[in-house]
Amino acid sequence: ILVVQLQSGRYMVIDGVHRFTSLKALGCNVIPVQVIDESKYAITTWHHCVSAGKWWQNLQQDPTLPWTTEARQETPFITVCQRHHEQYLYADDLGQAKLAAWSKGVASYSKSYTVERIAQGEINELSDEEVLLKYQPLDITEIEAVVARGETVPAGVTRFNISGRCLNLQVPLHILTEEATHV
């Protein structure tokens, strides 16, 4: 479980949220984490490749989402590609609703369709039945603000590329559930 220290002094899980919540549910009193220095990670996003469906039609018709086909100087916050056509949502057009738009987009397909996560720069040719969604990452300050408000970013989109990751840590469960902590 990887964490970064926030400006407030608290820690935020950047990888392993499901492991963290599972260990808490198992009654663990201690959970091992690796603290990652800000110089050791880069924030990117996963692109999502999803089968076309009613979800995309519904998103296009949502009046709270100002879709455009206009390619501007600024990088779009969300780009949707289908059959050589692209539509964009720009952060300036979304204003304070940027996170809500992002969440709405991911929620529209993630529960009902298989999502193939694709790393930036590794995009293959799309079939006519596929839609590719490209998301721009939030910076760490924006992520901290989301967490401070008690909100979350959509699952499966933000990607932390981390160097110096400690792998295959094997701590017996009985140690994590004991009352006394081991350091």
In this prediction, residue 44 carries a pLDDT of 93
Q: Say how many C-beta atoms besides its own lie within 10 A of residue 34's C-beta.
A: 16
Among residues of the chain, what percentage have pLDDT more than 70? 98
What is the rounded distance in angstroms from the CA atom of residue 168 to the CA atom of residue 174?
Answer: 18
Distances in whole angstroms, Cα of residue 17 to Cα of each of 33, 112, 152:
11, 22, 11
Query: Domain map of the chain by residue range?
Result: 2-177
| Residue 182 confidence class, pLDDT cut points 50, 70, 90 | low
Q: For 117-132, what is each residue's pLDDT tens digit?
A: 999 888 778 888 999 9
Region for residue 95 given its phi and psi (left: phi exceeds 0; alpha: psi -120 to 50; beta: otherwise): left
In the prediction, which pLDDT does 36 show? 94
pLDDT in tens, 7-26: 888 899 988 888 999 999 99
Q: pLDDT tens digits for 37-49? A: 989 999 999 999 9
In CATH terms, the fold of domain 2-177 is 3.30.1760
DSSP string covering 119-145 = ETT-PPPPPTTEEEEEEPPPPHHHHHH
In this predicted structure, what is the pLDDT of residue 180?
A: 64
For the cut 60, the answer to whether the pLDDT of residue 183 exceeds it is no
pLDDT per position as a tens digit, 85-116:
999 999 999 999 999 999 999 999 999 999 99
